[in-house]
Structure 1
Amino acid sequence: MIIKLLVGLSVIVFIHELGHFLAAKLFKVKVEKFYLFFDIGGKKLFSIKKNGTEFGIGWFPLGGYVKMSGMIDESFDLEGLANSTDKDHEFRYKPAWQRLIILSAGVILNFILGIGLITGLTLNQEFIPNDELKNGIYAYQAGENLGFQSGDKILKLNNHNIDNYSSISPLDFYKGTFLVERNNQIVEIDLTGKVSFMDAVRKKFISPMNFLPIIENVQSGSLAERINMQKKDLILKLDTIQITSIAEFQEKLQNINRNDSILIEYESGSIVKQAKVSLQNEAYLGIIFSVPIKYQKYSFFSALISGCKSSFELLYTNVISLKLIFTGEVSTKSVSGPIGIAKIYGDDTSIERFINITAMLSLVIGFMNILPIPGLDGGHILIILFETITRRKLSEKVQTVILTIGMVLILGLMLFAIINDIVNLI
């Protein structure tokens, strides 16, 4: 987890700082340092000087920075600013539009990285064509409460035809309007104002797996193998509950108390069998169901559209979550620091999971950096916009005070997140 955290954050930080570096070079601003991680106290693991820029890796493994000549930044190098005479290559003497591009470039590359990674993952995936769902959808209890019924065939979402079932996202249940076919009739299900944001993100409402629970494969060494389940067996009951679909089986199994014994009834050949099992010490039952769907591959264009949509939804989810934390609707315990992020990465070896989480973090870090908080890119941008609109330049002393306040706030937030991590571990 630690290795994945460091690698993931290193990629994100490097891309972010590369954006600043390339934009600075484009407008002929002298870049004094380009560091991955911080060289606090001048201590570093590695450094090399090339074309007037010191490239290096600091010893403190969080963040990174690009130090530009003539810019008041986290280094608080006011003496260097006072002694500098190279006005042609200083950040502070460049036109406002060039400074805005330089400051925004890191965030832009973070967004490009996030969207690019998600698009790449999407290209490697398959989607469910909506017309393959011959039996319609399965409605979980939460979906039934909203007006869905098992067997509904989704036709439109927000007045757009649904060709790709996989394009339906959790946020569509937050404020979407579905048009479904039910018993040869058209039914509208308007969810506006019916589902809270957090419920939309966390709960399952419908599933495409409305197919008979016929076993395709039994995993070796699993509980299912030990009770002699085989390929082509059909699940009939869980305890006294009649099972009619894959999604229903998964829902009922998830809701059963794992400490209790479960009676599974299934048909093997023409023989109905029963087995009493306990999932108390089992991670899973160990069966894979047969799904009669012809999946389709994404084209590059469709993957890009899906990647952009997924990226926007990730950002939107995090923005609303941040708002809910400030309004007290979501506990501040959900704020994570390095330990929490490492736990999100997890200890499995899935490259897809690693890429997906890195993409998400790149988008979130990009968004956080553009917020108008002193010390972040958004804070510097706000000062430039203020100076451009008012045509009054803030003194270096005032900018230093603003930056100091911002750094205290940022460090305080980091400390709070780390304390949260420790409390959540205990």
Structure 2
Amino acid sequence: MILQFVAGMSLLVLVHELGHFLAAKAFGIRVRKFYLFFDAWGLRLFRFHFKGTEYGIGWLPLGGYVKMAGMLSNHEDEESHEGTFAHRRYHNKPVWQRIIVMLSGIFMNVLLAVVVFTGLTLRYGKGYVATLGQEYRIEPGKLGKLAGLEAGDQLVAVDDEPLVDEEELTSSRLIRGKTVLSVIRSKGRERVHLHIAVPPQVMQTIADEGMTDFFSVNADYKADSVLTNLNLYGTKEFKHTGIFTINGDSIHSYEEFQVRLQENKKRELYVTVIHDGKTMRLRAHRDKDGHIGFSLNSKKPAYRPGPVSVAGSIATGTTRTLTSISDNVKGFGQMLSGEVKMKEALNGPVKIATMFGEHLEWKRFWSLIALLSIGIGFINVLPIPSLDGGQIFLVAIEGIRGSPFKPETLQRIQVTGFLILMVIVALVFYNDIRSLV
């Protein structure tokens, strides 16, 4: 999990800073340093020089940076010969060029998300639900039941937008708040169309706890073997066994099985199985994460996978990126309005690391990379002086007033921005520690 987190965040930092680097080079700005992580107090793990730029890896893993000549002020840098490169200094470049340099890191984050989402679509295709031979059904978890969903409901639209493929069933469209779900519910021979408004508080809880607690899509399954506490004492496995109940609740699908496990994760677990024609009630062996040991003999997929063309994959990748950007904007708006609490909306490195999981799954890894890349890009748009958005804001004001800020004023603004950023970082780490406790 730690290796995935470090590798993923390092890639995101490199891509972001590469955007600044390439734009600076394109406009002839002298780049003095390009670092992954910070070389605080001059300490670093590795460095080398190439064509006037120092490349390296710092020891403090809190991001990275590109240092451009004249970036902090329009006065002489500490290097006495810097004045000979006046035309290559950041502050001597036109306003529009400086804005592009600052925007380039954000652009690269968005571009990375498009590329990753496109690649995932090409590699894994789409699981279509609209073309299934038989209609799929959902199995609500505890939050789904709280919202008004029932077992066997068919979810057909979110906010009047029809659902077409698997990803849309579990996408962020469902956790934007004030969501209206359109479902078809069968009552005998009658099919009733319902519109269920889900409270924002429930949707925020779903965003924190996961879609399994909201609902899952039914898929047929058959257990091949069940590991019970009896197995720990040398009893052979119960081969070709069907699980029919968990703590008395009936099980009809693999997804329902997962939901029942979640609902009973703090209780002793008893399963009803049929083995050699006999019905038996057994106490299941469960690991520290609440999972029980069993293997699947066969599992009918809930979705019919379908390949997607290169053009279609690019369109899907672009759409998913734009949707994620829109979700970030709406989520930020909900946080500012108080609809969602800041302590619930901000996640730090510890919580992000847990999202990668203890085992490497490439689809999950790259999906997280794309989403985090969009998140980093969005954060950098914010007009905080220490971030790209703050730099863009200051440069824009300079362009409007027609003169640069005084070095003393610029320094005060930078320090203030840094303090604001540290407060946000402290809050994020507090949230992480609180969630662990």
Same fold (TM over 0.5): yes
* TM-score of Structure 1 vs Structure 2, range by shorter chain: 0.7 to 0.9
Which of 269, 279, 295 is matched with 1:273 structurally? 279
Aligned-pair CA distance for 1:316 = 5.2
1:366 and 2:377 are equivalent in the alignment? yes
Deviating more after overlay: 57-66 vs 326-335: 326-335
Instruction: Say whether the 8 Å CA contact 1:223–1:285 is kept in structure 2.
Output: no
1:111–1:362 contact (8 Å) kept in structure 2: yes
TM-score, scaled relative to structure 1: 0.81
Native 8 Å contact 1:47 1:55 kept in 2 = yes
**3-state SS of 1:97 partner:** helix
SS in 2 for 1:191: strand
**Counterpart amino acid of residue 260 in structure 1:** E
Measure how far apart 1:409 and its partner are: 2.3
Q: Counterparts of 2:433 and 2:198 in 1: how far apart (Å)?
A: 39
For 1:235, what is the secondary structure of its paired residue? strand
Q: How far apart, CA to CA, are the structure 2 residues paired with 1:181 and 1:33?
A: 62
Distance 2:180 2:230 in 1: 39
181-190 or 251-260, which deviates more: 181-190
Equivalent in the alignment of 2:116: 117
Paired residues of 1:345 and 1:357 also in contact (CA < 8 A): yes
Compared CA separation, residues 77 and 138, structure 1 to 2 (3 A): farther
Q: Deviations over 1:139-193 (max 9, x none)?
A: 4154455454444444444444433233222533642452637456461425375
Cα RMSD (Å): 3.7
Q: CA deviation at 1:81?
A: 10
Cα deviation for residue 398 of structure 1 reads 1.6
Amino acid at match of 1:111: V
Q: Which moved more, 1:378-387 or 1:316-325?
A: 316-325
Letter paired with 2:398: E
Secondary structure at 2:299 match in 1: coil
Distance 2:92 2:238 in 1: 75
What code does the residue aligned with 1:350 have?
Answer: E
Retained in 1: the 8 A contact 2:114–2:321?
yes
What 5-or-longer segments of structure 2 have no aligned partner? none
Q: Distance in 2 between matches of 1:146 and 1:60?
A: 45
Partner AA of 1:163 in structure 2: V
Deviates more, 1:49-58 or 1:18-27: 49-58
Q: Is the 8 A contact 2:40 2:59 kept in 1?
A: yes
Give the aligned residue type for 1:238: I
User: Who is 1:400 aligned against?
Assistant: 411
Separation in 2, partners of 1:255, 1:192 = 21
| Secondary structure class of the residue paired with 1:372 | coil
Matches within 5 A, 1:23-422: 23-72=23-72, 84-130=83-129, 131-132=131-132, 134-140=134-140, 142-144=143-145, 146-168=147-169, 169-172=171-174, 174=177, 175-178=179-182, 180=184, 182=186, 183=189, 185=191, 187-191=193-197, 196-201=202-207, 202=209, 204-209=213-218, 211=220, 213-215=221-223, 217-218=224-225, 228-231=237-240, 233-256=241-264, 258-262=266-270, 264-268=271-275, 271-279=277-285, 281=287, 283-288=291-296, 290-293=298-301, 295-299=304-308, 300-312=310-322, 314-315=324-325, 327=338, 329-330=340-341, 332=343, 335-418=346-429, 421=432
Q: CA deviation at 1:346?
A: 4.2
Contact map agreement 1:123 1:303 (CA 8 A) in 2: yes
TM-score by length of 2: 0.80
Contact 2:147–2:199 (CA<8 Å) still a contact in 1?
no
Count of matched residue positions in the alignment of Structure 1 and Structure 2: 419
- 34 and 242 in structure 1: CA distance in 2 versus 1, 3 angstrom threshold: closer
Q: How big is the shift at 1:126?
A: 5.0
**CA offsets 1:6-53 (integer angstroms, 9 cap, x no match):** 322221111111101111111111212212222223333333222222
Change (3 A) 1:334 1:129: closer
Alignment partners' CA distance in 1, 2:75 and 2:284: 63
Could you tell me how far apart the structure 2 residues matched to 1:162 and 1:334 are?
26
For residues 255 and 346 of structure 2, what CA distance do their matches in structure 1 show? Answer: 33
- Cα deviation 1:104-153 (Å, max 9, x = unaligned): 10111112223322332343335432132625312415445545444444
Structure 2 CA distance for partners of 1:194 and 1:257, relative to 1, 3 Å: closer
Unaligned segments of structure 1, at least 5 residues: none
Q: 1:358-396 deviations in whole A, cap 9, x for unaligned?
A: 333322222111210011110010012223334453223
Q: Is the 8 A contact 1:325 1:332 kept in 2?
A: no
Deviations 1:198-229, CA, capped at 9 Å, x for gaps: 03424544332154x533x437x676986844
Change (3 A) 1:148 1:308: farther
In structure 2, the CA distance between the partners of 1:258 and 1:398, relative to structure 1 (3 Å rule), is closer
Equivalent residues of 1:25, 1:31 under 8 A apart: yes
Which AA in structure 2 matches 1:178? S
- Give the whole-Å Cα distance in 1 for the aligned partners of 2:378 and 2:196: 31
Deviations along 1:328-362, one digit per CA (max 9) or x if unpaired, are 95363875544444444444233444333333332
1: distance between equivalents of 2:14 and 2:261? 45
Q: Evaluate the alpha carbon distance shift between residue 235 and residue 43 of structure 1 in structure 2; reply closer, same or farther with a 3 A threshold.
A: closer
In 1, are the aligned partners of 2:126 and 2:305 still within 8 Å (CA)?
yes
Cross-structure match for 1:15: 15
